Amino acid sequence: MRKLFLAILAVMFISSSVFAQQTTTPTKTAAVPAVIKTVTGKVDSVTVGNTEKKIKSEIVVIDEKGQKITLSVKSGTAITSKDGQKIALSEIKKDTKVSVEYKSKTGGAHRAQAIKIIE
């Protein structure tokens, strides 16, 4: 009886250590690269951010189909004039024709990657 009890105990110990070492390998999902899109149109409005007032920088462009698209503008966004010179967001005025490269974020928000004045 004692041998049977020790044999059962040994089997339980061995099987528990075997099952404890089994791990599942997490499946990696391939990161989908964000697609850069371009919108060309006239500026409807420009908002220059103010961190103290918690106002974010953004530009609203009316595309060639008449649809408005609002794009957030971060401090590292490249903004250039017609002649390729760097300019500030505040220098862009209403009705200026621009081309904006942007990425769409989850939830439908858009983030400008580069803004170029066309006219």
- Which string of DSSP letters, residue by residue, matches 45-106? EEE--BTTTTBPPEEEEEETTS-EEEEE--TT-EEE-TTS-B--GGG--TT-EEEEEEEE-G
Question: What's the pLDDT score for residue 18?
Answer: 56
> Is the pLDDT higher at 4 or at 118?
118
CA–CA separation, 97 vs 119, rounded Å? 5
Residue 31: pLDDT over 60: no
What's the pLDDT score for residue 102?
Answer: 95
Domains of the chain: 36-117 (2.40.50.140)
Backbone angles phi, psi at 40, to 5 degrees: -120, 135
pLDDT tens-digit series, residues 81-109: 999 999 999 999 999 999 999 999 888 89
Confidence (pTM): 0.70
